[in-house]
Structure 1
Amino acid sequence: MSSLIRPGLRGLCLAALLATSGAALAQTPQPDPEALQREAMQKLVEKQARESELKAIEQRLAGNTEARAALEKEMAAIRADRAALNKALLDTTARTQAAEERLGALETRLALLQSSETAIRRSLDGRRNLIAEVLAALQRIGRRPPPAVLVRPEDILEAVRASMLLGAVVPDLRQEVEILGTDLAELVRLRNGIATEKGRIGTEMEQIAGERQRLASLIEARREREANAARDVEQQAALGKELAGQARSMRDFVEKIEKEISVANKAADAARQAIEQETREQRERMTALAFKDPARLAPKIAFAEAKGLLSLPAAGSRLRGFGDPDGAGGTIRGISLETRANALVSAPSDAWVVYAGPFRSFGQLLILNAGGGYYILLAGMQRIDVALNQFVLAGEPVATMGETSEAAATTVGVGTGQPVLYIEFRKDGVSIDPTPWWTKSQGEKVRG
Structure 2
Amino acid sequence: MVRRLALGICFIAIFAFHVMQTTDQLAAQEVLPILPSSDSGQILQKTQEKLNAVRSKSEALNRKAKILSKDIGDIRVSLVAKARTIQNHERRIEKIESKLKQLDTHRKNLTKHLHSKYQQIGKVLAALQRIAFNPPETLVMQAIPPADMVRTAILLRAILQRLKGKVQKFGANLAKLESTRKEARSKRNQLNTEVKHLEEQRFVMNRILGRKSTLHRRTMHQTKSAERQAKVLAKRAENIKELLSNLKKLNARQDPNREISKKANSSGALAEKKAPHKNHATIKSFEAARGEMAFPVIGRIITRFGQPISSKRVHRGLTIETSAFAQIVAPHSGKIAFAGPFRSYGQLLIIEHSGGYHSLLAGMAKIYSTVGQRVLSGEPAGVMGKTKETSINGRLHIKKPALYIEFRHKGEPMDPLAWLTVSKKKASG
Normalising by the residue count of structure 1, what TM-score does the alignment of the two structures yield? 0.57
Deviates further, 413-422 or 311-320:
413-422
Distance 1:170 1:377, change over 3 A: same
Task: Give 1:212-227 correspondences, 5 Å limit.
Answer: 212-227=202-217
Q: Deviations over 1:322-362 (max 9, x none)?
A: 22223444332211111111100011111111211123343
Residue 446 of structure 1 deviates from its aligned partner by 6.1
Answering whether residue 403 of structure 2 is matched by residue 431 of structure 1, we say no
Partner residue in 1 for 2:71: 81
Answering whether residue 390 of structure 2 is matched by residue 414 of structure 1, we say no
Answering whether residue 362 of structure 2 is matched by residue 379 of structure 1, we say yes
Q: Deviations over 1:142-172 (max 9, x none)?
A: xxxxxxxxxxxxxxxxxxxxxxxxxxx9546
Partner residue in 1 for 2:137: none
**1 CA distance for matches of 2:359 and 2:395?**
20
Residue 301 of structure 1 deviates from its aligned partner by 4.3
Give the SS at the match of 2:343. coil
**1 CA distance for matches of 2:319 and 2:222?**
40
Q: Deviations over 1:205-251 (max 9, x none)?
A: 11101110000001101101101213699xxxxxxxxxxxxxxxxxx
**1 CA distance for matches of 2:68 and 2:298?**
27
Task: Give 1:30-429 correspondences, 5 Å limit.
Answer: 81-129=71-119, 170-171=160-161, 173-230=163-220, 291-294=272-275, 301-408=284-391, 411=393, 413-429=395-411
Whether contact under 8 Å (1:412, 1:422) holds in the other structure is no
Give the SS at the match of 1:426. strand
**1 CA distance for matches of 2:96 and 2:354?**
38
Residue 407 of structure 1 deviates from its aligned partner by 2.0
Partner residue in 2 for 1:154: none
Distance 1:178 1:378, change over 3 A: same
**2 CA distance for matches of 1:412 and 1:309?**
30
**2 CA distance for matches of 1:217 and 1:116?**
42
Residue 306 of structure 1 deviates from its aligned partner by 1.9
**1 CA distance for matches of 2:161 and 2:292?**
66
**2 CA distance for matches of 1:394 and 1:305?**
14
Whether contact under 8 Å (1:364, 1:379) holds in the other structure is yes
Unaligned 5+ runs, structure 2: 1-66, 127-158, 224-269, 277-281
Distance 1:80 1:447, change over 3 A: closer
**1 CA distance for matches of 2:343 and 2:306?**
24
Residue 129 of structure 1 deviates from its aligned partner by 4.1
Q: Deviations over 1:98-136 (max 9, x none)?
A: 110110011000100010101111222334446768999
Q: Deviations over 1:18-49 (max 9, x none)?
A: xxxxxxxxxxxxxxxxxxxxxxxxxxxxxxxx
Whether contact under 8 Å (1:318, 1:335) holds in the other structure is yes
Distance 1:78 1:97, change over 3 A: farther
**2 CA distance for matches of 1:294 and 1:413?**
40
* Greater RCO, 1 or 2 (C-alpha within 8 Å, sep 6+): 1
Whether contact under 8 Å (1:100, 1:208) holds in the other structure is yes
Partner residue in 2 for 1:57: none
Whether contact under 8 Å (2:93, 2:195) holds in the other structure is yes
Give the SS at the match of 1:356. strand
Distance 1:232 1:225, change over 3 A: farther
Whether contact under 8 Å (1:381, 1:402) holds in the other structure is yes
Residue 367 of structure 1 deviates from its aligned partner by 1.0
Partner residue in 2 for 1:254: none
Identity among equivalent pairs (%): 31
Unaligned 5+ runs, structure 1: 1-76, 137-168, 234-288
Distance 1:112 1:446, change over 3 A: closer
Whether contact under 8 Å (1:79, 1:85) holds in the other structure is no
**2 CA distance for matches of 1:197 and 1:300?**
38
Give the SS at the match of 1:304. coil
Give the SS at the match of 1:303. coil
Distance 1:199 1:121, change over 3 A: same
User: Paired residues, what number?
Assistant: 283
Distance 1:290 1:413, change over 3 A: farther
**2 CA distance for matches of 1:112 and 1:412?**
30
Distance 1:133 1:291, change over 3 A: farther
Normalising by the residue count of structure 2, what TM-score does the alignment of the two structures yield? 0.59
Q: Deviations over 1:239-271 (max 9, x none)?
A: xxxxxxxxxxxxxxxxxxxxxxxxxxxxxxxxx
